[in-house]
Structure formats: C-alpha cells, structure tokens
Homo-oligomer: A and B are copies of this chain.
Amino acid sequence: MSIRVTVWNEFRQEPSDPVVHAVYPDGIHAAIAAGLEAAGGFTIRTATLDEPEHGLTDAALAATDVLTWWGHGAHDEVADAVVDRVHARVLDGMGLIVLHSGHFSKIFKRLMGTTCDLKWREDGRRERLWIVDPSHPIGAGLDETFVLPQEEMYGEHFDIPAPDELVGISWFEGGEVFRSLATWRRGRGRVVYFRPGHETHPTYFDDNVRRVIANSARWAAQDRGARPTRGNPGPVEPPSAG
C-alpha cells in the first residue's frame, strides 16, 4: 500500500536567490519529491508557504501519512492556526520529518518543547555522518558512514529533548559533532529530524540523503496502536471486596 507523503517547502529562496536557484531550479520540494518517487512506494504531493493555508488544509493533512518539512527564513510567516493543525495531526498519528533548518520551525519547537537552537557555520566544508544504531530501519541500505563533500555545519549543543532513538551523529571538519539523525514519539505520531540540506548545496540529490528520507518516511508511516480514549470513565474492574 502506498504511503501518502506531503513534501512541504518554504520555497522562497529558490525563485529569488540566484545561487539557490542554480542548485534547486524547481525548488527543494521538487528534489525531495523526486527522490521519494525514485525510491518507490509513495504517493507524493507538495505544498509550499505561499499557497492558501500553506497547502496544509484539514483535508490535505487528513490525506497525509507523512509530512516532510523544510523551512529557513520565513518560519514566522507560518500561521499559528496551521501549526496548531499540524501539531494535532501529528499527535493523532501523522509522521513528521523535519529537515535541516526546519529545526527552527514553529512545529518542531512546539513538539520538542525546547528552543532547538544550535551552532552553525556556512563554510561548505565536509560533513561525515556515522550511523550509531545499526538495528534501526532508517539506516537500511546505507554504509556505516557517508560523506557530504559540502555542507553547512551544525554543532552541539543542539537544544532538543534526548531523542527516543539516536540513529546518526555527524562529524564536521571544523571540530564539531551533531546528533544529525534522531527520532521521537509524540502522541500517536512519529517524528524524525535529519540534519543535512543547506539550500546552496545539492544535498537533496545525494543518494544517501534520499535513502535516509525514504527510509524515514517508511518508518514514520508504520502502523499505530488504537486512539486512546480520554475523559471521565467509570472503573473497568469491579471494586474490591475489602
């Protein structure tokens, strides 16, 4: 059965910034969608900030198993009502894959409860990512380490709750390390953070990066348990004789 993925992108720099346009002429979302398409098993749509309701209507979210999120300079322009809606949908069971500068998105900060702040440096030097949990399906088909020859640096401390699963750690040439691939559960939802993806580098055309995103989407779309009931129920067991 096909997994329904909505690839969300801020899509502001690609049309306006020639450097970014040269790398992603159709937008970062198009490159991510193409990677998922090539992996197979997904029904993909895209959505961007400047669409009505950012392309994330109730109907769109209801038809989404996994949402990927890339944003950078316009986090504040994402309407709170849409953030509330995405948040509720994650807790209800949607998967969410937050990419790169999406660490500062409203939805990620809402789900984490922390600032999600970090160190960064746009030096376009090497990133080397190591898989530290070889039992995890997100690492399937990857070698134990892979390199991105040019990337932005993100360094610890990354202000996130301790991940439920820490899958990958990055090494940077300038001396930094970073928890680059990690997961959390929130309600019935499953959340992945994956670090690489600076807009001036062709990261979303990289085979390893595409594989991580496809694996993450499969992981985030797994079956769920029942929706819990809430409120003020009567006892489910008879009172004691005591």
Binding site for B on A (CB under 8 A): 91, 93, 110-115, 117-121, 123, 125-126, 128, 130-145, 153, 155-159, 161-162, 164-166, 169-177, 179, 184-190, 215, 222-242
Contacts and interface: CB of A to CB of B under 8 A. Distances in A.
Contact of A225 (B136, B159, B177, B242): B136
A165 to B, nearest CB: 7
A213 to B, nearest CB: 15
Contacts of A141: 223
A236 B126 CA distance: 12
Contacts of A190: 135
B177 A126 contact: no
A120 to B, nearest CB: 6
A239 B174 contact: yes
Contact of A142 (B153, B225, B235): B225
A125 to B, nearest CB: 7
A183 B226 CA distance: 19
A121 B159 contact: no
A139 to B, nearest CB: 3
B144 A189 contact: no
A62 B29 CA distance: 42
Given A139-B226, A233-B121, A132 B113 contact: no
Contact of A134 (B157, B161, B169, B241): B157
A88 to B, nearest CB: 9
A122 to B, nearest CB: 8
Greatest chain B CB density within 10 A among A131, A158, A227, A240 is at: A240
